[in-house]
């Protein structure tokens, strides 16, 4: 169970890491970080900065999907230790995903995304088949 909690913790931190990265690009591209209107300023970013903002949004979405998959496994009575390695693998994939996104490496990013999505779908399968 600890591995799943660690994975959830990591996945909660990743959107914040993306926000810090986009803050770096806001300062670099726009000269400052506007904390009063951060979303309006983020919309002005281009290139890697815009991709950092998109990676943040995707990280929140991925957290929701993974959390739902963990909840399904938990509710179905599958021991969380059964998905420990899957949870850690998903976390690693999401960590790798962010620099691929910011670096504009779309093909490997898509493969990493699909692998992570597959892990979540497999977790739903485990929940349904238990």
**pLDDT reading at 105 higher than 80:** yes
pTM of the model: 0.94
Q: What is the DSSP string of the chain?
A: -HHHHHHHHHHHHHHHHHHHHHHHHHHHHHSS--SSSHHHHHTT--HHHHHHHHHHHHHHHHHHHHHHHHHHHHHHT--GGGGHHHHHHHHHHHHHHHHHHHTT-HHHHHHHHHHHHHHHHHHHHHHHH-
pLDDT digits (tens, 9 = 90+) for 27-84: 999 999 999 999 999 999 999 999 999 999 999 999 999 999 999 999 999 999 999 9
**CATH code, 78:** 1.20.120.550
Give how many domains the chain has, as a whole number. 1
What is the residue range of 7's domain? Answer: 2-129
């Amino acid at each position: 169970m600890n591995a799943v909690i660690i994975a959830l913790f990591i996945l909660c931190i990743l959107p914040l890491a993306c926000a810090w990265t986009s803050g770096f690009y806001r300062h670099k591209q726009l000269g400052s970080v506007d904390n009063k209107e951060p979303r309006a300023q983020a919309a002005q970013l281009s290139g890697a900065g815009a991709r950092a903002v998109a990676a943040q949004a995707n990280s929140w979405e991925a957290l929701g999907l993974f959390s739902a998959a963990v909840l399904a496994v938990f509710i179905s009575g599958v021991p969380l230790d059964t998905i420990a390695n899957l949870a850690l693998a998903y976390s690693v994939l999401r960590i790798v995903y962010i620099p691929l996104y910011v670096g504009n490496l779309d093909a490997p990013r898509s493969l990493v995304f699909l692998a992570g999505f597959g892990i979540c779908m497999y977790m739903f399968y485990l929940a349904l088949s238990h």
